[in-house]
């Protein structure tokens, strides 16, 4: 009997030791699991790249999208039509070809609602990104994007993206001045001057620093082209909107490098505002633009470092 009891106790001791060893191994595995110490930094970088992608999509900028995506990136979306969900899948190059072949394209704005980012080992990330698509200040669809980003050397790039599309009912569509202004700022960096002109009425007027007014969309596009030619990498950001009884002031910041023809190669960063009056359809009837021209000329000559 004592011998049997001893054998049982020895067996229990062995099992217990094995169990403790397994727990120790599990603990070591948990302790050695990779922790991304630069997660916040990576998330900021990913968000910045996705912001550029959203802007490039709305501006129909094929060159920018190609630079921010892997050559074999996959795109897919699913949408509801006549009560049934339909799917569309294609490679990034096919998507870019479709953009290039569009006749008379129009810009749109894709505004991010939030970024839900998960990063693994600083190399791979998944992002859930709900957005609103708007045309000239009127939201058209709501989308939820599911994105996979992967690092190529030191650059985060798009590996795949898929999204759902939900159309906003016609009776729920409303004009939103903030969406309009965000879209207007976006197209100044599109290198498509006709996109800027589309935010104006057919007989719209644009004045810059009390200069000769540009009347009509063709003339307005020519003004925009002068800035785009001078600053190929130009970005205009909306700083604020101030609405008064008869007009709205759109405050902006322009940043860019004067790398155009006969450019100085210097960087500029200029603040200014446009004073808008609108037509009933929500497009700009007249815009009076103002910025510090002396500061602008000084930066063209010396860059921003001398400011």
Would you say residue 58 lies in a domain? yes
Give the tens place of pLDDT for each residue, 228-287. 999 999 999 999 999 988 899 999 999 999 999 889 999 999 999 999 999 999 999 999
Same domain, 214 and 96: no
Kindly indicate the confidence band of residue 99, based on its pLDDT and cuts at 50, 70 and 90: very high
Kindly indicate the confidence band of residue 92, based on its pLDDT and cuts at 50, 70 and 90: very high
Q: Is the pLDDT of residue 213 over 80?
A: yes
Same domain, 243 and 261: yes
Which of these three, 172, 207, 232, is where a domain ends? 172
Same domain, 248 and 275: yes
Same domain, 207 and 116: no
Are the beta carbons of 138 and 179 closer than 8 angstroms?
yes
Q: Is the pLDDT of residue 189 over 50?
A: yes
Residue 51 to residue 48: CA distance in whole angstroms: 5
Specify the number of domains making up the chain: 2
Are the beta carbons of 92 and 74 closer than 8 angstroms?
yes
Kindly indicate the confidence band of residue 10, based on its pLDDT and cuts at 50, 70 and 90: very low
Would you say residue 234 lies in a domain? yes
Would you say residue 81 lies in a domain? yes
Q: Are strands 155-167 and 69-81 parallel, antiparallel or unpaired?
A: parallel
Q: Is the pLDDT of residue 8 over 60?
A: no
Same domain, 159 and 200: no
Q: Is the pLDDT of residue 29 over 70?
A: no
Identify the domain containing residue 186 by its residue range: 177-306
Q: What is the CATH number of the domain that holds 129?
A: 3.10.450.50
Same domain, 168 and 192: no
Same domain, 108 and 131: yes
Weakest-pLDDT range from 8-22, 114-128, 208-222 = 8-22
Q: In the prediction, which pLDDT does 210 show?
A: 84
Would you say residue 290 lies in a domain? yes
Q: Is the pLDDT of residue 23 over 50?
A: no
Residue 246 to residue 39: CA distance in whole angstroms: 47
Same domain, 193 and 284: yes
Q: What is the pTM of this model?
A: 0.84
Q: Is the pLDDT of residue 36 over 80?
A: no
Weakest-pLDDT range from 24-28, 129-133, 186-190 = 24-28
Same domain, 159 and 243: no
Same domain, 116 and 43: yes
CB atoms inside a 10 Å sphere around CB 58: 23
Q: Are strands 235-243 and 248-257 parallel, antiparallel or unpaired?
A: antiparallel
Which of these three, 150, 172, 194, is where a domain ends? 172
Mean pLDDT of the chain: 89
Weakest-pLDDT range from 75-89, 136-150, 193-207 = 75-89
Same domain, 158 and 212: no
Residue 91 to residue 71: CA distance in whole angstroms: 9
Same domain, 183 and 255: yes
């Amino acid at each position: 009997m004592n011998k049997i009891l001893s054998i049982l106790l020895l067996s229990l001791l062995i099992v217990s030791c094995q169990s403790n060893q397994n727990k120790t191994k599990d603990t070591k595995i948990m302790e050695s699991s990779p922790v991304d110490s630069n997660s916040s930094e990576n998330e900021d970088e990913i968000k910045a790249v996705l912001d550029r992608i959203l802007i490039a999509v709305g501006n129909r900028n094929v060159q920018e999208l190609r630079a921010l995506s892997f050559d074999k990136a996959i795109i897919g979306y699913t949408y509801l039509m006549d009560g049934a969900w339909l799917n569309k899948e294609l490679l990034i190059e096919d998507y870019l070809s479709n953009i290039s072949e569009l006749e008379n394209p129009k810009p749109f704005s894709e505004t991010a609602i939030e970024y839900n980012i998960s990063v693994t080992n600083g190399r791979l990330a998944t992002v859930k990104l709900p957005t609103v698509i708007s045309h000239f200040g009127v939201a058209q669809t709501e989308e939820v994007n599911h994105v996979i980003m992967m690092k190529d050397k030191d650059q985060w790039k798009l590996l795949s993206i898929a999204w759902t599309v939900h159309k906003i009912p016609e009776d729920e569509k409303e004009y939103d001045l903030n969406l309009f202004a965000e879209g207007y700022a976006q197209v100044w960096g599109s290198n498509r001057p006709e996109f800027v002109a589309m935010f104006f009425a057919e007989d719209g007027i644009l004045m810059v620093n009390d200069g000769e007014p540009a009347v009509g969309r063709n003339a307005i596009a020519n003004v925009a082209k002068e800035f785009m030619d001078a600053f190929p990498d130009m970005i205009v950001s909306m700083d604020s909107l101030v609405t008064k009884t008869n007009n709205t002031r759109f405050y902006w910041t322009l940043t860019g490098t004067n790398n155009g023809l006969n450019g100085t190669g210097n960087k500029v960063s200029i603040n200014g505002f446009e004073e808008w009056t609108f037509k009933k359809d929500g497009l700009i009837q007249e815009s009076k633009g103002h910025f510090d021209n002396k500061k602008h000329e000084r930066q063209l000559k010396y860059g921003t470092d001398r400011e």
